[in-house]
Amino acid sequence: MKVDDSFKYKKVINIGVVSELTGLTERKIRYYEERNLIFPERNASGTRKYSFQDVEVLVAISNEVEDGVSTFEIRQNIIKKEKRAKKIMTQGQVNAHFKLYKNN
């Protein structure tokens, strides 16, 4: 039986719980948001909501910072990954459109 992991992406966790799960202060979590490293949603009253995926990203960011990587470098790496992913997706769309995919 395949487990549905869509729950990982639902933004339902408040910042206090994220702080407890990650060991990061709420201020540090907000700082990472200010640096465009994490993107919580906000509910109608303005409360930040995070997903389990966000928690994983925050732990990874914290580990990188602990290893001496600056938040600027982390953001640049995120941008590079996003560009690569977009390029791969675009190439896949072009291949599908022109039926240029490999036959295995």
Q: Which CATH architecture has domain 6-97?
A: Orthogonal Bundle (1.10)
- CA–CA dist 10, 46 (Å, integer): 17
**DSSP code per residue over 39-87:** --EE-TT--EEB-HHHHHHHHHHHHHHHTT--HHHHHHHHHHHHHHHHH
pTM: 0.75
The chain-wide mean pLDDT, for the chain, equals: 89
**Any idea where the domains of the chain sit in the sequence?**
6-97
CA count, 13 A, side-chain hemisphere, 35: 18
Q: How confident is the model at residue 87 (pLDDT cuts 50, 70, 90)?
A: confident
| Amino acid (1-letter code) at residue 56 | E
